[in-house]
A = this chain, B = another copy of it.
């Protein structure tokens, strides 16, 4: 608990009760969560608060936003030394069509992409869809 507070403070944001709870929840869940998911977990709180909390987390490098192609933005806790903004740190995301969960495959880096003349890459997003290990095993 204290740990979470320190984490938040070290990233330069104030560790309010709400933020600590949301952070804790996201760490425990391990999968990428949509605003709606968090909303359902914290029905007592307002959607706007959760929304802005996620934005704050994102701006301060606590979570990164994932676009897994489902149309709704998802968020996942950044790894220890996650440099989401740097190309070499980008990992791929896997979305399971069966259980509908999205996970970060952090050990799988995105290979370097050769672009045509004149194109400059700033950001790469790679999403693989299919069946995850949990669902394929059954």
Task: Spell out A's residues near B (CB within 8 Å).
Answer: 67, 69, 71, 73, 92, 94, 97, 105, 107-108, 111, 113-134, 136-137
Copies in the complex: 2
Give chain B residues whose Cβ lies under 8 Å from the Cβ of A121. 128-130
Q: Which of B73, B120, B125, B133 contacts A136 (CB 8 A)?
A: B120
Other A-B pairs beyond A105-B116, A113-B128, A120-B130, 4, CB < 8 Å: A69-B125, A107-B116, A117-B133, A119-B130
Give Cα distance in the complex from A105 to B69, angstroms: 19
Q: Which of B92, B115, B116, B118 contacts A137 (CB 8 A)?
A: B118
B124 near A128: Cβ-Cβ < 8 Å = yes
